[in-house]
Structure 1
Amino acid sequence: MSSEVATPELEMESKSDSSTVVYDHEPFETFKARVLELCQTVLIPANGKVSIERMHGGGFNRIIGVSVTSNEHSAVSQYILRVPRFEAAQLGCDLAPLQLLRQQTKIQIPDVVAFDTTRRNVLESPYMIQTRIPGSSLFPAYPDMPHEMRCAIAKELGKVYSELHSIRSVTAGRLTLSPSQGSLMIQPFDNTGTDAIVPYENGPAAKTTFNMLHAILDHKKELAVAEGPNQSFRVSFFDHFIATASEMSTLGVLDENYYCLCHLDLEPRNILVRAPSPTQPQTITGILDWDSALFAPPLMSCSPPMWLWAWNDEDEEDERLAGNTPSTPELRELKQLFEHAAGPTYRRFAYGAQYRLARKLIRFAIDGLQSNEDLMSAELLLSEWTEVQQSLKLAKGAIAGPQVDPSVTN
């Protein structure tokens, strides 16, 4: 068994700004020796060799590419090593969605070939090794692709949305793995204690959407109260959120009482594609970064992927404009192809202002108020809801028609 390290430019640079400076991690030049030792243990066949390359990581994981060559057959297998950046990272939350998706869907995802949720290994860190999916990232190439390829992407991505809507859970929360048995579990949103984790179960919701949301907001409010008087502004926001959730429920915004799997970051950077061929007809070769996946009301899985038909290089897409008709026949075709493939659940919840605001409210319930930007966004949500609520009430009254007192006669 032998090993080698590829990409000579890595030898010239001992520090990675992202890993060493920003995250205070061990420099790649020394870390790569331990990566090689790990790979020699869990990946390399007899008389094989391994090469590694530093890759651009994300905010939560250090990413390293691994290539394994068999001397006997000259075959090359490629993998991705993911190492969590933070002590609090839970590898089970990365592994569990992949396990569930492999069991219940045909969505293209990486295979997990090795992992360790402990620090008892040569890396002294939890890690996961996945197969490396062929293809290239949609970002920033998508707007320059041929129209036929973009149409294929729109249809295939729509099918991903439809499949996610079909995967249900009795409990809303984050998927994770049982530390002892590796079975699928759910960490409820309204209780982060380890004793609150329940086995994953596919079925009708145990709580209505409103009751679930109310419980989360109450929990977040209690946490803010416990922090003392200096958090009174957060307490006030959660009081307003609770009132808004009640108003949304009264107007039927939260009526769909089931929980489906939601990938909250289905952006071009997390989608891999390649030109289709007779043997590989699919254009989308992989969907990445399932660590954000959770079980939530279906409206959470219906945020419009505006980049498909309204790519914007300058700014983030404005979801308030998602329902607008695209300006050209080609862009209209992309939108229509996606909507048809995504199905009726998407079409119901994607474009209404009430559902857009409900998505924001549920995100605040799950993630809390973490920054000044969150506070400004929360104020905007409450202000917008006042207007939308009035419009819904007027529409509801118009549908109901004038009420006639039956005691009044001509």
Structure 2
Amino acid sequence: MHGGGFNRIVGIFVTSSESPTASQYVLRVPRFDASRLDRDLAPLQLLRRRSKIKVPEVTAFDTTSHNVLESPYMIQTRIPGSPLFPAYPDLPYELKYDIAYELGRVFSELNSIRSVVAGRLTLSPSQGPLRIQPFNNMDPDATVLYENGPPAQKPSDMLLALLEYKKELVVAEGPKQSFRVSFFDSFIVVASEMSARGLFDDNYYCLCHPDLEPRNILVSPPSPTQPQAITGILDWDSALFAPPFMSCPPPMWLWAWNDEGEEDERLPNMTPPTPDLRELKQLFEYVAGATYLRFAYGPQYRLARKLMRFAIDGLQSNEDLKSAELFLANNYRTPLLDSSVADELDAQKDAKPF
């Protein structure tokens, strides 16, 4: 089967004389030694335990290379349905309506799954209770037991500590990285000013799927045996616990499909041009709920999502550096917020999206 950037994917059909129908599975084998199968497994375990979101069921796995494949692996039951990409624009409207409704429920559910600590879900070495690897400490011994509750550290403090941590890592690489250090100095100033304006006051962390795109959503026309249109959501490898604005990027493809490339998050709240598209957008927003509406469209939270991604992922490539330059040049007077943007943030901090 077509694999992803980090996993080889193999379809498996198991036949038996006792059953005329073959059982179907998917084998996932990491492409790189640095891949973390424990982080792939942990979100699936949590979601099957705490939500109604349809995700693959893991039937077998090995996080070591001490097996016949000489590699870590995971075997999942194969979910019926087809990816929404590239089929979505040609689907019948009735199916799009069901998809919009069900995706809204997914957004709402993700926001309800909380954590005391921000970071990535992982498994303990003994595959015992779920744990969290904090963003600002990658030492395996630094993981903490997953717990649902209020945060141990305010999101504003977490973000600033994470940026300082990433800056220290770059400083340790030597003077040739001074240009990267200057980026993090600017990010820290931006984060401080945004925090002072109350943009990180929401005191919780929720589960986020950073790649909730059509290619990772499987659908099938509803039937008596399969009443839901969305049959499964894939690729939870990058799932994380983060402030709620991170779980609310608008799924613009629902009402503004773009065949030409990535969607521009500056345009998501434009009114769709047709009654059907307007209905899809309104339905999704209604089901996704008030939290989504608060964090999805405001420019302040669009910028906060970008800043949080820089804090989590760092500046690892030339593309990251170009993106950081655009972020600062287009939105701020480096290293301080441009006054016009600062005024807009103040004016829209508590505004509703429409």
TM-score range, shorter chain: over 0.9
Q: Specify whether residues 172 and 89 from structure 1 end up closer, same or farther in structure 2 by C-alpha distance, changes over 3 A only.
A: same
* TM superposition shift of 1:257: 1.7
Contact 1:264 1:293 in 2 (8 A): yes
Superposed, which structure 2 residues align to 1:25-64 within 5 Å?
A: 55-64=1-10
**Aligned AA (1:281):** P
Indicate whether 1:320 and 2:266 are aligned: yes
Alignment of structure 1 residues 11-26 onto 2, 5 Å: none
Residue 262 of structure 1 corresponds to 208
Is the partner of 2:276 in helix, strand or coil?
A: helix
Structure 2 counterpart of 1:127, one-letter code: Y
Q: Give the one of 145, 165, 169 matched to 2:115.
A: 169
Greater C-alpha radius of gyration: 1
C-alpha distance in 2, partners of 1:288/1:182? 23
- Does the alignment pair 1:330 with 2:276? yes
For 2:137, give the aligned amino acid: N
Would you say 1:246 and 2:183 are equivalent positions? no
Measured in 2, the distance between the counterparts of 1:377 and 1:255 equals: 26
Task: State the secondary structure of the residue aligned to 2:67.
Answer: coil
The Cα RMSD (Å) is 1.5
**Shift, 1:251, TM fit:** 1.1
The equivalent of 2:340 in structure 1 is: 390
SS in 1 for 2:237: helix
Partner Cα distance (1:278, 1:74) in 2: 21
Task: Determine the structure 1 residue equivalent to 2:256.
Answer: 310
| Alignment check: 8 A CA contact 1:354 1:385 kept | no
| Deviation readout 1:326-373 (Å, 9 max, x if unpaired) | 111111111111111111111000011110010000000000011222
1:104-123 mapped onto 2 (5 Å cutoff): 104-123=50-69
Q: Tell me the alpha carbon deviations over residues 9-59 of structure 1, each in whole angstroms, 9 at most, x when there is no partner.
A: xxxxxxxxxxxxxxxxxxxxxxxxxxxxxxxxxxxxxxxxxxxxxx11000
Equivalent runs, 1:202-351 vs 2, <5 Å: 202-351=148-297
Work out the CA distance in 2 between the residues paired with 1:221 and 1:312: 36
Query: Aligned pair in 2 of structure 1 residues 61, 397: CA closer, same or farther (>3 Å)?
Result: closer
* Letter aligned with residue 201 of structure 1: E
Task: Tell me the residue number matched to 2:96.
Answer: 150
Task: State the 1:395 CA deviation.
Answer: 7.1
- Partner amino acid, structure 2, of 1:353: P
Amino acid at match of 1:190: N
Give the alignment's TM-score, normalised by structure 1. Answer: 0.82
The structural deviation recorded for 1:383 is: 2.7
- 8 Å CA contact 2:300–2:345 kept in 1: the answer is no
Identity %: 71
Indicate conservation of the 8 Å contact 2:8/2:31, yes or no: yes
Which amino acid in the other structure matches residue 73 of structure 1?
Answer: S
- Looking at structure 1, the residues matched to 208 and 318 of structure 2 have their Cα atoms a distance apart, in angstroms, of 26
TM-score (norm 2): 0.95
Deviations 1:129-182 (A, max 9, x none): 000000111111000001111011011001000000000000000000001243
Is contact 2:27-2:76 (8 Å) kept?
A: yes
Distance 1:395-1:217 versus aligned 2 partners, 3 A rule:
closer
Q: Which runs of 5+ in 2 are unaligned?
A: 350-354
Report what 1:29 is aligned to. none
**Residue 194 of structure 1, CA deviation:** 1.2
Asked whether the equivalents of residues 121 and 130 of structure 2 are also in contact (C-alpha less than 8 Å), the reply is yes
Question: What one-letter code is carried by the residue in structure 2 that aligns with 1:110?
Answer: P
Assess, with a 3 A threshold, how the Cα gap between structure 1 residues 257 and 74 changes in structure 2: closer, same or farther. Answer: same
Q: Alpha carbons of 1:158 and 1:173: their partners in 2 closer, same or farther (altered >3 Å)? A: same
| Higher mean C-alpha displacement, 72-81 vs 381-390 | 381-390
In the alignment, residue 96 of structure 1 is paired with which amino acid? A
Alignment-mate amino acid for residue 278 of structure 1 = P
Counterpart-to-counterpart distance in 2, 1:398 and 1:145:
37
Letter aligned with residue 144 of structure 1: D
Shift of 1:382: 1.6
Size of the aligned set, in residue pairs, is 345
Determine which structure has greater relative contact order: mean sequence separation of CA pairs < 8 Å that are 6+ residues apart, divided by chain length.
Answer: 2
Asked if structure 2 preserves the Cα contact closer than 8 Å seen for 1:96 and 1:177, the reply is yes
Per-residue Cα deviation, 1:173-215 (whole angstroms, up to 9, x for no partner):
0000001243200000001011211110100011111100011
Q: Is the 8 A contact 2:39 2:122 kept in 1?
A: yes
1:188 correspondence with 2:188: no
Q: Is the 8 A contact 1:251 1:393 kept in 2?
A: no
Q: Is the 8 A contact 2:171 2:178 kept in 1?
A: yes
Report deviation, 1:252: 1.5
Aligned equivalents of 1:353, 1:313: Cα separation in 2: 24
SS of the aligned residue for 1:260 comes to strand
SS in 2 for 1:75: strand
Deviations 1:49-88 (A, max 9, x none): xxxxxx1100000000000011122231100000011101
* CA drift at 1:323: 1.1
Does residue 128 of structure 1 match 2:74? yes
Alignment check: 8 A CA contact 1:353 1:388 kept: no
Match of 2:106 among 160, 163, 178: 160
2:322 and 2:137 map into 1 onto residues whose CA distance is: 26
Q: Could you tell me which amino acid in structure 2 is paired with residue 161 of structure 1?
A: F
Q: Which runs of 5+ in 1 are unaligned?
A: 1-54, 400-410
